[in-house]
Structure 1
Amino acid sequence: MSNYQNVIVAVEAGILHVTINRPKALNALNQQTMRELEQVFGKEYKDSKEITGVLITGSGDRAFVAGADIKEFIGVAAEGSGREMSEMGQNVFFLIERFHVPVLALINGFALGGGCELALACHLRVAADTAKFGQPEVNLGIIPGYGGTQRLNQVVGKGKAIELTLTGNMIDAQEAHRIGLVNYALPAAEAKAKAMELLSTIATKGPIAVRESISAINAYYAGSDFAAEAEAFGIASGAEDFAEGAAAFVEKRKANFKGK
């Protein structure tokens, strides 16, 4: 396993746990942290059959990720390389959005700016009821740069996305749940249990079907939609797992999926 400075990585019972570990900086995303996330999702665990799901959270109980590292960003902006920084962040979050198993964000505090964008790149989001969300970049005279203007729009709709982006206002977990930004908003003591329940449930399903479902749903937002779904359906229906799943249904037993 690679050595990481700013993330803690562990596999437990098939679930990859990724913890952003910069509590003194409220887990802000600096470039080192982004490179480490790129290593985790783009190299070390890419296509890994060891895992059935991923849980991302932040260290401590104050923040999931409170944003990008502003001090570092000021230096990048002064060099005129803001576009390159944005593209790098987008590419890292594409790795998460397109990951082969479900990635769930367990949001345990502030999810602001890049932190909200990280949560949006995940497939599922469970929030503690103390969590806060927002895209406050406009307060600094910039805009979201890691996919926030695109994914927030997809998840909560154009009107609410424009409101949150242009006002920079924070919302609480209950409002985030009401508008569909998170799947669940629960007391902190219950949030992790719900996150693990979701990942454990998905782990019992056909791995190929899960992977191709993620691919097909993502394709809708890339403009491929129905053609991509048909291709993904063809892959899943031609796999051994489908024959096993169909046989188990007919025989009224639990399927024994093997990811083949």
Structure 2
Amino acid sequence: MTAVVVARQGVTGCPYRPDPPAAQLVTDRARAVAGLLLFALPAVLVACARDRLTRTVDMPLSQFVLDHRTPAMDVLARQVTSLGGSGFIYPAGVLLGFLALPRCRVLAGMVWASTAARPVIELLAKLSFDRDRPDLSRLVPGNGPSFPSGHVLATALFWGLVPAVVALYARKRAVVRAASVAAVLLFLAIGCSRVYLGVHWPTDVVGGWGLGLALLMVVRLCTAAHHATRPCLSATADRDSRTD
């Protein structure tokens, strides 16, 4: 979810280099491990102490949020949460892949693979824990088990790849940085919106943040590994024309 590695420094650039910096690979691996740990903590508690977790952590936090609802925030939360819903993510994922395709076929394939695989991963995770959703004055429908949040997973694997596609076209690093910051903010905001709307417990969202981050880093590492052996033509071209 942080700024992508900018490789090709022109308008036809690919954000993945055939010789990625070792520090970047280490950082992505560390983020993947951190994401798994962030997922594991609530996952263990949901599996082993579900009722106590709900009673002592989730219920008080959820009730506090619900007590501070306002009509304006209700509207905003619905709009924000729609950016992580299937009705938006599926067509947007297909479109994002087509945008990447002319400049980097591998990245396009990763976008499409992530869009297709995410619902399967989400379903398996949800069925594994089979946690009931909160029944606290929901403002939007919520279906299926609660842990982890599917909207958060979808956000990670779509919006987390948007900066990489932006880097294919942007002439300035500042544009890529702005896209990265926007992706992080959406990642956090969509998760918070699920609690506000009453369809997820806070620990569902934390678990989704962790698993989503880990999956995004796996996608980044797989894409970088492919470019190490079969780089895009754009990734091996001149890297000095992009300006700050």
User: TM-score range with shorter-chain normalisation?
Assistant: under 0.3
Tell me the TM-score normalized by structure 2. 0.26
Greater relative contact order (CA < 8 Å, ≥ 6 in sequence): 2
Structure with a larger share of its residues in helix:
2
